[in-house]
Amino acid sequence: MTNSIEEFEKAEVLLITGTNTTEMHPVISSYFKRAVRNKKTKLIVVDPRKIDLVDHAEIWLRQKPGSDVAWLNGMMHVIIREDLYDKQFVEERTEGFEALKKVVEAYTPEKVQEISGIPAEDLVAAARLYAKASAASIAYAMGITQHINGTDAVKSVANLAMLCGNIGKEGTGVNPLRGQNNVQGACDMGGLPNVFPGYQPVGSPEVRAKFEKAWGVEKLPEKVGKTIVEIVNGAIDGSIKGLYIVGENPMVSDPDLHHVEQGLNSLEFLVVQDIFLTETAKLADVVLPSFCFAEKEGTFTNTDRRVQRVRKAVDAPGAAMDDWRIICGIATRLGYPMNYADAQEIFQEIRQVTPQYAGMSYERLDQGGLQWPCPTEEHPGTKILHTQTFSRGKGLFHAIDWIPPAEPTDDQYPFVLTTGRVLYQYHTGSMSRRSSALSELYPECLVEINERDASALDINDGDSVKIESRRGHIVAKARVGDKTEVGTIFVPFHFAEAAANQLTIAALDPVAKIPEYKVCAVKVQRAN
């Protein structure tokens, strides 16, 4: 996030897209609703489903799944055509405007309507509302990113924000809402295949030399690693022999689960480190029991870059251990002694090798969270990024054309499937489905289908339906209504017994390598 959570209430306009915020980030959604209720803020919601935030919106744009680059280009077309963009910001702080202008010229509201289904007049109204605001903020989540053009969509969001000067000041910004509580912290610590902690590239000799010295090793690898889907492919083709999975349940969360199961079963050795015996852990050769969040000391870094202390609340059961103690024990047995007294000592090392964290300490964090970058102990932390300049100097507009999803509908598979989460369950359900109260509120997989489609297929609310793609099928109960558009169904992915990812396609964004969870072609029928 370029800005801070509390600033959502200071925006004149909020553009919310690809995030069912009331169910995925309910605390953050309260800022949105309070801002609208206090008549400070107008809300634009762009979502193919009739999510709860639609009831609070000034404008709702109901796009077809996978058409985000098109409608974003269409908004920019209107803003440039009507001379509503921030000329001073574009002139002084950006480059590449002419190339962007040339590409978006083709994305007239009428063309965007053909691609996205958004009525042309609604697109124009949304563009004007966003562009004329003194401060407008964009919040998005995985509905934007989990496509084969997810990277393009994120760049298009940044294009729109820069075009209207909505970067570097309060109540503005490009604000991704992270899907789990410490995803931001994991990325900050180098939990990506191409960087060390602090987003320092593994391909840089200077960076490698820095970490070789800090860690007392020679010749750290310069090769970029693999992403999850690539790892599964490598297991199947034999190039990857062993896999160590920590706190992840790919047998529910990853696309094309038959393919995932084949990959995990092809390994010579699989280790899973987790707090429960998940669907993935059941396939492992070795399971290492680790602490849950309430049994740990350390820090979490949340979605607006805020580093906060985590304190142990309860003792762990049985033979469970801290994740870091398990990893240190394995490293030591493999010949690299790794010894820390406690989590605080690890954080001290983080400060030394991660410039964004250098000014933080447990003593400072005990007084409250700090937002990175925080380069010195005198620095107050950074609430707003890019106030004077971008990290590359001038912000770069990317001229991007829309591409269709990897798997279009056809006569055999006429429905679009999109997936996501619901309020009462969480991710793969490894924790939330063990709660009797949560399972009473949302006990099973429900397939959202439009009432017109249900009528045509002779499906009633509560009927069992079979959803089938080219990769697999599931059976679940129908929830008939108007939450999804005609021709689109929604399936939550929390339920292993009716796993949405039996159906999804493992087509990848070529840059970020994220799978296209949000669009694939399926057929729907009543189950016998």
- The mean pLDDT of 436-457, rounded to a whole number, is 95
Q: What does each C-alpha distance from 398 to 65, 294, 407 come to in angstroms? A: 22, 43, 25
pLDDT band at residue 145, thresholds of 50, 70 and 90? very high
Q: How far apart are CA 508 and CA 127, in angstroms?
A: 30
C-alpha–C-alpha distance, residues 14 and 41, integer Å: 7
Residue 172 has pLDDT above 90, yes or no: yes
Answer yes or no: is pLDDT of 288 > 80.
yes
The pLDDT of residue 458 is 95
Residue-wise pLDDT tens digits, 458-507: 999 999 999 999 999 999 999 999 999 999 999 998 988 998 988 999 89
Average pLDDT for 4-12: 96
Percentage with pLDDT > 70 across the chain: 100
Cα 139 from Cα 160, distance rounded (Å): 12
Q: Which residues contact 238 (CB under 8 A, 6 or more apart)?
A: 266
pLDDT score of 380 more than 90: yes
Whether the CB-CB separation of 259 and 414 falls below 8 Å is answered with no
Q: Is the pLDDT of residue 528 over 80?
A: no
Please name which of 141, 146, 125 lies closest in space to residue 71, comparing C-alpha atoms: 125
CB atoms under 10 Å from CB of 494, counted, come to: 25
pLDDT at 255: 86
Mean pLDDT for 360-379 is 95
Cα dihedral 494, 496, 502, 505 in deg (nearest 10): 30
Fold of 183-225+290-370: Rossmann fold (3.40.50)
Q: For 30-77, write each residue's pLDDT tens digit.
A: 999 999 999 889 999 999 999 999 999 999 999 999 999 999 999 999
With a pLDDT cut of 90, the percent of the chain lying above it is 92
Q: Is 415-526 a domain of CATH 2.40.40.20?
A: yes
Q: Tell me where in the chain the CATH 3.40.228.10 domain(s) lie.
A: 5-177
Judge contact between 509 and 521, C-beta under 8 A.
no
Q: Are 28 and 53 in contact (CB under 8 A)?
A: no
Least Cα distance to 109 among 72, 84, 140, 135 occurs for: 72
What's the confidence (pLDDT) of residue 233? 94
- Integer angstrom CA distances of residue 511 from 42, 224, 234: 34, 13, 18
Residues of the chain with CATH 3.40.50.740: 183-225+290-370
Task: Report residue 123 as tokens.
Answer: 């697109």
Q: What is the pLDDT of residue 512?
A: 87
Residue 247: per-residue pLDDT: 92
Whether residue 205 is preceded by a cis peptide bond, meaning omega within 30 degrees of 0, is no
What does the pLDDT read at residue 179?
82
What does the alpha-carbon distance between residue 401 and residue 159 come to, in Å, rounded to a whole number? 13
pLDDT of residue 427: 86
Cβ atoms 480, 451 nearer than 8 A: yes
Beta strand pairing call for 13-17 and 136-140: parallel
State the average pLDDT over residues 383-392. 94
The token pair at 120 is 């042309």
Q: Which two tokens stand for residue 188?
A: 């900050």
pLDDT at 387: 95
Categorize the per-residue pLDDT at 96 as very low, low, confident or very high, splitting at 50, 70 and 90: very high
pLDDT at 254: 87
CA-based torsion, 18, 22, 28, 34: positive or negative: positive
Lowest mean pLDDT among 91-100, 390-399, 422-431: 422-431
pTM: 0.93
Query: Chain-wide mean pLDDT for the chain?
Result: 95
pLDDT tens column, 156-171: 999 999 999 999 999 9
Residues carrying CATH 2.40.40.20, the chain: 415-526
* Sheet order of strands, 286-289 included: 242-246, 269-274, 286-289
Q: Is 449 helix (H, G, I), strand (E, B) or coil?
A: strand
Residue 445, both tokens: 């997989």
**pLDDT score at 37:** 93
pLDDT, one tens digit per residue, over 242-259 is 999 999 999 998 888 899
Phi-psi region of 87 (alpha: psi -120 to 50; beta: other; left: phi over 0): alpha
Inter-axis angle of helices 120-132 and 109-116, to 10 degrees?
120
Amino acid 88: pLDDT: 97
Q: Are 31 and 5 in contact (CB under 8 A)?
A: yes
Secondary structure (3-state) at 61: strand
Bridge partners, residue 316, by sequence = none
At 122, phi and psi to the nearest 5? -70, -40
Decide if domain 5-177 falls under CATH 3.10.129.10.
Answer: no
Q: What is the pLDDT of residue 299?
A: 96
